[in-house]
């Protein structure tokens, strides 16, 4: 996560703009941004992310399971159907999940079904850190692990996913602020 990002503009955002900017960092869970708002000002991007993750960590086991169930299955058919958030869609495409053979899709569906049946929530992995083959290997390996271990792993993977998403939004804010300064008319002395 980039630590060179100036958080002063983030800390200066009004409530509505802050939420509009950060509510979608966590999949269908705007509560993370709402809870983080209360922790301002943030000393760093990491502090902002930690404040958002603290909302998730503060949930009881059922709340965390419910949160995990807000996440989509890894699936080529979900990509084609356009049913995922823009972030999830782009992330899954980056791992080549939109270019699987019929056999690969069937295998992924079978593995997803087994994982969900065993653990009660979908398999979650930061796909940007893996190849398609690596995702399949991790899914096969993680099916047999204990559910608490998998819940902890899923939350760690979500932390990696959301650090990337947050970093992208912060960088975009920085580019936007720089672009606005560059376009501002020069004052004559």
Active-site residue list: 71
- The helix, strand and coil proportions of the chain, stated in percent and rounded to the nearest 5, come to 65, 0, 35
* Residue with the two structure tokens 């990491």: 46
H helices, E strands: number in the chain: 10, 0
Backbone angles phi, psi at 17, to 5 degrees: -70, -40
Outline where DSSP puts E strands in 17-58: none
Q: Residue 26 carries which DSSP code? A: S
Six token digits for residue 26? 């966590």
Is the CB of residue 18 less than 8 Å from the CB of residue 37? yes
């Amino acid at each position: 996560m980039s630590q060179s990002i100036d958080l002063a503009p983030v800390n200066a955002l009004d409530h509505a703009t802050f939420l509009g900017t950060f509510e979608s960092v966590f999949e269908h869970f705007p509560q993370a941004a709402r809870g983080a708002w209360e922790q301002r000002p943030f000393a760093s991007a990491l502090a902002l992310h930690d404040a958002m993750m603290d909302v998730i960590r503060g949930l009881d086991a059922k709340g965390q399971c419910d949160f995990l169930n807000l996440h989509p299955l890894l699936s080529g058919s979900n990509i084609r159907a356009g049913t995922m958030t823009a972030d999830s869609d782009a992330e899954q495409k980056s791992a080549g999940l939109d270019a699987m053979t019929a056999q690969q899709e069937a295998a992924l569906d079978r593995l997803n079904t087994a994982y969900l049946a065993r653990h009660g929530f979908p398999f979650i992995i930061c796909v940007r850190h893996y190849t398609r083959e690596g995702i399949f290997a991790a899914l096969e390996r993680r099916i047999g692990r204990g559910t608490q271990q998998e819940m902890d792993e899923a939350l760690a993977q979500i932390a990696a996913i959301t650090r990337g998403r947050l970093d992208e939004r912060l960088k975009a804010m920085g580019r936007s602020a720089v672009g606005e300064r560059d376009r501002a008319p020069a004052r004559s002395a």
